[in-house]
Amino acid sequence: MAASFSASRKESLPSPTSSCSSKDSKGEKVGGTGKRQTTLTELFLSHSPSTSYKPKRPKGETNEEVSSTISSTIYVSSEEDVSDCSHVSESPPPSPSLPSPVKQAQTWGCTPLNEICFGPSATPILPPLRGSASHCVTFKTDGCVPRLTPPTPTPPTYRDVWDDSHVRMPTSSQCLYPVPGSKLVKKWVLITQALSKPIRNSFELEEAILTYNSRFRGKWKFQLLHAYFARHQTKEETDRFFSTVLPPLKKLVLNLPQIMTHAVPLLSKGVSYSLTMSQEQVACLLANALFCTYPRRNSNASDSEFASFPSINFNSLLCSRPIKKQLHKLQCILHYFKRVLSSMPSGAVTFSRQVLKEAPNWDQSTKPFTSLHVSSTGTIEDQGHGMLQVDFANKYIGGGVLDYGCVQEEIRFLICPELLLSRLFTEELSPNESLLVIGAEQFSTYRGYSNSFEWGGDYKDQTHLDDWGRKQVRVVAIDALIFNRKWQWRQYERTRLSRELTKAYSGFSGETGMTPCGRMMGVATGNWGCGAFGGDPELKALLQWMACSIADRDMVYFTFDKGGELLSKLVDIHQLIMSRRLVVSNLWELLNEYYTEVVEEREKMTLFQFLTGKLSSKPSTK
């Protein structure tokens, strides 16, 4: 059964009538090589190899046996370590009427990129920036953009708030810490005393941090910190850091009461809420994270106050093993501080928790599919400018960025460190929630992936500002379900399909408003929830396309597959879906049929093979 589909798959396809169909000798809509359409980088500023998942349900299992294996867990990276993406040949393929011994690699397919909705014309028109019951703004909004200097914090003087709705700040008069002699003192006094003294090397820096974290003396071993300056930096670079970078960095930490005068609200579960800060305030709060000043954020106990939040103090990174990727992680972060201290940015960043109140009825939707562009080259962060860029997130935002994780989400947080601040106030994401960050600036480039990750150098982000002073970069964090190898077949169950669609839709539908072109910008994404999360790339691509279509957004899909296998498969499926004029509910029905006819019956057939067989004999819907 499966063999018949795969052996004659392309020959059995009907003549397509979709946007992928061949129109002329230039092949404008069949996809292909870079010489036959405008390149990605010319149009706008955007790893997990494709594998065919062959579902096989284990014998004798019960729902109870696997119920605990499906949910997300802390610090599970969103992808496996995979090979670097490299550009393949962009020579045009030979004429289909002539035999050719060599087939040129196809680098894009489906809808041409210049027909995808993205850029300023698809960006929501903004009202004047002001705070509201659902939006906290922590600086004065004078309406002048771009600003020459960082905006003035508001309120004018520090507001001391110590409750369970806000970040517990080290500056609070109620933040007390035990010292020898069984007495409590204000932690900010200890921090001020420790950082007011000269710090000439990494060992004195360690001692300063342990002064106000004394209960962890003997537990925190600052291996990475010491190795970074002893081995990863030259003596001249180390001396320069401690003489010219660290003094203003300490000052930035100690200026917290003057820079962050507003109480920082928590973005808690079940509440749609936005927080807009100046880039200076973000830098100040991150500097305090580097120096591990935040109280009640060092416990891993399940009953601790912030057990449902990611970690924020950088001790886990500073104390990690000094392996290559960890050293380069620290380099990314310290480079960020060097940059902002040499010239403090004057823009703003918005963090928005998006809560979907009601999911669409997937089995009743008559929405047609939006445009899809598929590329085997490029990355979301480099070729996704002007689009909504997807972060393949952990439900604890940032995943293992401060531990040993170093894949898609973690790397994005390292080259755009302002994203790290979301860990301070964002509670774990529920199945109907996502996090949208607008304005996070990129400060570094990188090479490699996972264990081969390296800091690549300085990056000057030339992205234009919007009317609120934010870089026009939108990153949406959506966390996929985790499927261990034994239970990967369960991702095709109706409830799991619905959960992933709901999660994706919560991210793609959260931001609304009028745009100059009348449509919202497209989504730049890829193999979300694949790799270490165990997802099937074929399934995840279709689910995201369905969610985009319901949200009226086009989709640009980066396959990250060097050989172009997934690209080719997506082009074929796109042709079938569009030529048969399917709507979202039609594909939902087919996905459920795949589960009952293939997965439950333990047939060895991939999802795309199944759909090809079904759609090749299916008449067009009217």
Task: State the pLDDT at residue 519.
Answer: 86
Task: State the pLDDT at residue 121.
Answer: 86
Catalytic residue among 391, 418, 427, 500: 391
More confident residue, 123 or 573: 573
Q: Of the given ranges (10-19, 111-120, 336-345), which has the lowest mean pLDDT? A: 10-19
**Average pLDDT of the segment spanning 546-568:** 93
**pLDDT confidence band for 164 (50 / 70 / 90):** very high
Task: State the pLDDT at residue 621.
Answer: 60
Q: Is the pLDDT confidence value at 59 over 60?
A: no
Catalytic residue among 409, 441, 466, 561: 409
Task: State the pLDDT at residue 518.
Answer: 85
Mean pLDDT of the chain: 86
Task: State the pLDDT at residue 347.
Answer: 97
User: Tens of pLDDT along 277-308?
Assistant: 999 999 999 999 999 999 999 998 999 999 99
**Average pLDDT of the segment spanning 429-444:** 98
Task: State the pLDDT at residue 19.
Answer: 35
User: Tens of pLDDT along 483-534?
Assistant: 998 999 999 999 999 999 999 999 999 887 778 888 899 999 999 999 889 9
Residues in binding site for substrate: 394, 408, 449
The rounded percent of the chain whose pLDDT value lies above 70 is 82
Residues in binding site: 394, 408, 449
Per residue, what are the HEC states of 492-549? HCHHHHHHHHHHHHHHHCCCCCCCCCCCCCCEEECCCCCHHHCCCHHHHHHHHHHHHH
Positive or negative torsion for Cα 478, 288, 400, 161: negative
**pLDDT confidence band for 561 (50 / 70 / 90):** confident
| DSSP H or E stretch at residue 34 | none
Distance CA 153, CA 67 (A): 48
Task: State the pLDDT at residue 371.
Answer: 97
Q: Is the pLDDT confidence value at 259 over 70?
A: yes
Task: State the pLDDT at residue 29.
Answer: 41
**pLDDT confidence band for 105 (50 / 70 / 90):** low
Task: State the pLDDT at residue 619.
Answer: 67
Long-range pairs, 173-182, Cβ under 8 A, ≥24:
175/295, 177/212, 177/214, 177/295, 178/214, 178/215, 179/214
User: Tens of pLDDT along 23-57?
Assistant: 333 333 444 544 444 444 344 333 333 333 344 44
Task: State the pLDDT at residue 440.
Answer: 99
Distance CA 333, CA 183 (A): 36
**Average pLDDT of the segment spanning 151-171:** 98
Q: Is the pLDDT confidence value at 248 over 60?
A: yes
User: Tens of pLDDT along 185-218?
Assistant: 999 999 999 999 999 999 999 999 999 999 999 9
Q: How far is CA 367 from CA 125, 552, 577, 585, 616, in A?
A: 25, 9, 13, 8, 22
More confident residue, 63 or 601: 601
Q: Is the pLDDT confidence value at 135 over 90?
A: yes
**Average pLDDT of the segment spanning 449-453:** 96
Annotation marks residue 511 as catalytic: no
**Average pLDDT of the segment spanning 163-183:** 94
Catalytic residue among 410, 466, 511, 538: 410
Annotation marks residue 410 as catalytic: yes
Task: State the pLDDT at residue 567.
Answer: 95
C-alpha distance across the termini of the chain, in Å: 29
Structure tokens at 32: 């292909």
Picking from 592, 595, 594, the residue whose alpha carbon sits closest to that of residue 612 is 594
Picking from 419, 518, 527, the residue whose alpha carbon sits closest to that of residue 474 is 419
Q: Is the pLDDT confidence value at 75 over 60?
A: no
Picking from 2, 3, 1, 5, the residue whose alpha carbon sits closest to that of residue 616 is 5
Secondary structure (3-state) at 246 = helix
Give pTM, 2 decimals.
Answer: 0.85
**pLDDT confidence band for 340 (50 / 70 / 90):** very high
Annotation marks residue 391 as catalytic: yes
**Average pLDDT of the segment spanning 528-545:** 96
